[in-house]
Structure 1
């Protein structure tokens, strides 16, 4: 005797299959024509009955099949689950995502929020942390400038576009070699880098761990990973001459003593803090870090893709195809670096492996510093960090950013050379297959490839991972329609989704 669960599973599938393969009563031949009805009319009547009955049965079978798939997706075999996903846009294997717990902000985080939005802490009196990290723009810039303007009179151009501050709550400290995780032991980065020198670069493919992920830099904050904590990251812009432009940390301390929230410092950290400038700054930056950690807007996980993972939203055909290409190691292969799957314990994907890559993006002439032909921004090995300057195997490498809210950004890559996703995708697709469409040309008309990195470091550039593994003249990895569908999927990563 068939079990109830088996019959419940097989009935809609059988109904759907039977509609396509087994005649029903509706398919029965028409009765012979009567004396009052000519043969042609009888034939037309038979065909109409046949078509109407066939369509009704197919529709009924499909409806039952789709309804069952939506209600009991866990009972669908993998192959059938793929059909359901294609037909309905639903995730046939929904998961439960472990989002950060939400609670009212602590007193320290409330203080940090006020500091984050306080323009009086800048030399110009017109910039706060939120100026370059706008909550309304996924904690990134609110404009399309390649680099932001700062300084005492807001007339100094920055060096790199500010990365988003969102989704940094799980960022590990900078390391080379085995993931250091949460460790109190000091790490000798230079020694680890020296040990890794000369080792073959690991090939990274979508949905698969790289062969040797420990042999590349990983973790850290800023584009070059030079800072490990949100607390230390917060102080950097305050004293940067092209950003908030305070001459020294002492200047920052004097400004903090004049704020309207000074009494909150005293209540939380004790009245003696006003007499200790270095401690005052340290606690202020700690508070900013707590705000970024506790406030759920920094890691909302409210995108359409999150809800799709949980079975609460459906992707369109274009979005589904874009996701497939995103994960396809021979096509876009985006997931090779921008991990798209939840962790085994249900943590939502951050869409970054937090590693560093040398991609060879073209030089951006809009950055004033790039007007000096001998200046090169080489990421991990300088010029804004100097501890790895001699580890030239990392020259040209920059942190892989999260792709969450990527469709809300207006500048892309470490030098802000592109301003829309289409150009970003064209870069990956055409960098080596048609470089004349990506790079400037010399006097002879030849493309000057990798023009933002000195030639002696071109060996660091990734030519192993798809789609960057193609050669000149090869067919690009993605068609125009593929690119449109990938962009459609990327738009599902924006927070604030509403059906």
Structure 2
């Protein structure tokens, strides 16, 4: 019996170009049927994509997933709230001059911008594990400078629920004791952020010891291996002799240089204003931001990387590095602002680590001293934002890794193949978690995927998975130019 098309009632084979000569061949008929079905599927998919792009709010999740896979488009675009852009105030302009002033350092060669380069996402401009400073620029630091981008959203350091009286003096030790009996919540991508009842959160630097941009800006001025001023008098004298002295006088009057405390306070406030007002510190201009808004499309590798990033049984990155916009429309910060003990390997290239008895234990010291007795936090460091992570050349608090590939392999192999991550002693034993005293190893995260695996288990990610996750991480780099055709 001849087969007919539905619109013309012509034999189906005659309606196709170059109909096969062996129409009676069952194999040929099956091939033809497969082609027709494939065309139908493609037409249906195209229709679903068109519908989803035109009516995203009425698109079922299953159809949205098809759209993502086939087009790389976000079927549910959102509106992101960005900070307003305006000319810098006189206070911020003063802060800009301070930020780039090398004369404020003991060496005369180091400014804020030296370690927080605008051309490198306000992070270090080189691949050194840590930076050099001091009076002669010969002293090595022991932690890589974090990026200054997006710090305006960083919450204050705290432990446990927010205090009911925001103006009350905070006793972190008491908060730690109150939280000590609360079990640590497991962090799972796609689930609401873990309650901060036990884990500290917020603050600046790797250990959260500064709560404000002013305090963060002042810290390097006095650090002996950074700008290396020996006293506040040193800083005040240099500000008094600066090329922008008249700007201080215009803003604060003739008595500003007679009050050292006020001078330093206003100078650091000016630096903070520069960071808040200058949009280059928080542009939200990554490809992922534009994808969220429906203004860019992800490649297949980037899309797959995003899925793995959010998959609680795979990379589970979003368990700590939250990837969804906030309920009020703020772009995702890719951090939960909490602290983790990850047990990264010791970096023996750091001068401080040449002393075998020295350990950088984050919240427990050496820079913080107020929580040194709270040993349940030893080894914990702040979870950084992953925005612009692909522009960095060093990772973790000790700069032990220099590529995202190495970072992902650490997460993938730390517990299932520790011999590939950590050094061995003279007898061949693996020195796992070698950058933290053994008595604090219980603080290390072993519950959250992919750290929930045991020795010899299969890895949670393949090499191709890791490549795709890194492809996605590259979409978090600011400065992407969206294709206007995708608007």
Q: TM-score, normalised by structure 1?
A: 0.90
The Cα shift of 1:466 comes to: 0.2
Question: Distance between the aligned counterparts of 1:293 and 1:143, measured in 2?
Answer: 25
Question: Distance between the aligned counterparts of 1:341 and 1:277, measured in 2?
Answer: 45
Partner of 1:329: 312
Partner of 1:148: 131
1:489 aligns with 2:453: no
1:237 aligns with 2:202: no
Question: Distance between the aligned counterparts of 1:285 and 1:387, measured in 2?
Answer: 24
Partner of 1:370: 353
Contact 2:182–2:197, Cα closer than 8 Å, also in 1: no
Pick one of 338, 349, 373 that aligns with 2:332.
349
Q: Deviations over 1:86-127 (max 9, x none)?
A: 111111111101111221111111110110001111111111
Contact 1:411–1:418, Cα closer than 8 Å, also in 2: yes
Partner of 2:17: none
Question: Distance between the aligned counterparts of 1:150 and 1:336, measured in 2?
Answer: 36
Partner of 2:263: 280
The Cα shift of 1:310 comes to: 0.5
Partner of 1:409: 392
After TM superposition, the structure 1 = structure 2 runs for residues 368-407 of structure 1, keeping only pairs within 5 Å, are: 368-407=351-390
Contact 1:113–1:288, Cα closer than 8 Å, also in 2: yes
Q: Deviations over 1:151-207 (max 9, x none)?
A: 111100001000010011111111111135993222111111112224322211112
Indicate the SS of the match to 1:335.
helix
After TM superposition, the structure 1 = structure 2 runs for residues 13-412 of structure 1, keeping only pairs within 5 Å, are: 28-29=11-12, 40=21, 60-180=43-163, 183-412=166-395
Partner of 2:436: 453
The Cα shift of 1:376 comes to: 0.2
Indicate the SS of the match to 1:271.
coil
**Shift in CA distance, 83/277, structure 1 to aligned 2, threshold 3 Å:** same
Contact 1:197–1:391, Cα closer than 8 Å, also in 2: no
**Shift in CA distance, 27/498, structure 1 to aligned 2, threshold 3 Å:** farther
Question: Distance between the aligned counterparts of 1:55 and 1:174, measured in 2?
Answer: 57
Question: Distance between the aligned counterparts of 1:221 and 1:77, measured in 2?
Answer: 41
Question: Distance between the aligned counterparts of 1:403 and 1:339, measured in 2?
Answer: 9
Indicate the SS of the match to 1:266.
helix
**Shift in CA distance, 40/429, structure 1 to aligned 2, threshold 3 Å:** closer
Question: Distance between the aligned counterparts of 1:79 and 1:52, measured in 2?
Answer: 24
**Shift in CA distance, 484/42, structure 1 to aligned 2, threshold 3 Å:** closer
**Shift in CA distance, 26/247, structure 1 to aligned 2, threshold 3 Å:** farther
**Shift in CA distance, 41/370, structure 1 to aligned 2, threshold 3 Å:** closer
Question: Distance between the aligned counterparts of 1:384 and 1:288, measured in 2?
Answer: 23
The Cα shift of 1:294 comes to: 1.1
Indicate the SS of the match to 1:493.
coil
Question: Distance between the aligned counterparts of 2:413 and 2:85, measured in 1?
Answer: 44
Contact 1:27–1:50, Cα closer than 8 Å, also in 2: no
**Shift in CA distance, 206/27, structure 1 to aligned 2, threshold 3 Å:** farther
Contact 2:79–2:293, Cα closer than 8 Å, also in 1: yes
Question: Distance between the aligned counterparts of 2:403 and 2:33, measured in 1?
Answer: 53
**Shift in CA distance, 59/219, structure 1 to aligned 2, threshold 3 Å:** closer
Q: TM-score, normalised by structure 2?
A: 0.92
The Cα shift of 1:74 comes to: 2.3
**Shift in CA distance, 413/41, structure 1 to aligned 2, threshold 3 Å:** closer
Q: Which of 406-415 and 51-60 deviates more?
A: 51-60
Indicate the SS of the match to 2:151.
coil
**Shift in CA distance, 179/23, structure 1 to aligned 2, threshold 3 Å:** farther
Question: Distance between the aligned counterparts of 2:164 and 2:279, measured in 1?
Answer: 23
- Once superposed, what is the RMSD of the aligned Cα atoms? 2.2
Q: Deviations over 1:190-244 (max 9, x none)?
A: 1111122243222111122355322111100100011111101111111111001
| Number of equivalent positions | 470
Q: Which of 452-461 and 104-113 deviates more?
A: 104-113
The Cα shift of 1:326 comes to: 0.7
